[in-house]
Copies of this chain bind each other. A is one copy, B any other.
């Protein structure tokens, strides 16, 4: 069993591209980068990086995110593999798209600025290079699906937040307006949130209680996948 067993086979460049979601000012946002290398230098793109021999693709995505945003322990999820031979005019690159959910408040703004990055509202994205538009579209689809089955705020919101914050996040994700009363009831029946006794008075005169996620997160939405 040597490493040369498969030597007759073609080898490929493998990359990861990260769709970095954040949430700020009631809007779902994506972190995009001015591409620093040819081809398409200077255009907007997702955060990408090469996969090395001694790491998994998840490791690679984590490393690239750490180097660029200073964040660690980021939620990552595979989205889709893009492998059109001509997708990157610079050469044949197989790229795995990853969803990354980050708390905008926490990332290292210096690092990000250095890398020529900018947060864009989900509904006003610029044209992206290559097939990155497709990646974003798949990523959003996946994010919505995920958000349908579990509360995903724990990665996008700060530690303490109000139910209204959570609702506004969901409004942004699904581009709709959820009924405040029904939304609250649904979220509370899931038994994933812990009420604190502090209030946020910035949003209303009455003030809204802060909640936080229970430690055993990963609560599902009760919508069991089930047919018939």
Contacts and interface: CB of A to CB of B under 8 A. Distances in A.
The A interface, classified by DSSP as helix, strand, loop or mixed, is loop
A174 B223 CA distance: 16
A65 interface: no
Contacts of A225: 144-145, 148
Contact of A85 (B53, B89, B186, B228): B53
Interface stretch (A8-16, A105-113, A114-122, A204-212): A8-16
A228 B170 contact: yes
Nearest to A185: B228
Nearest to A57: B83
Indicate the size class of the contact surface on chain A.
Answer: 35 or more
Nearest to A9: B50
The 6 nearest A-B residue pairs measured at CB: A11-B11, A5-B90, A56-B83, A57-B83, A148-B225, A186-B228
A165 B110 CA distance: 61
A198 B109 CA distance: 69
27 contacts: A1-B39, A1-B89, A3-B91, A6-B90, A6-B93, A9-B50, A10-B53, A11-B11, A11-B14, A12-B12, A12-B53, A14-B14, A51-B83, A53-B85, A53-B92, A57-B94, A58-B83, A78-B80, A81-B96, A170-B228, A179-B228, A182-B228, A183-B228, A186-B227, A186-B228, A221-B227, A223-B227
Report the copy number of this chain in the oligomer: 2
Contacts of A186: 227-228
Contacts of A75: none
A52 B93 CA distance: 12
A130 interface: no
A189 B109 CA distance: 53
A154 to B, nearest CB: 16
Contacts of A227: 147-148, 170, 174, 178, 186, 221, 223
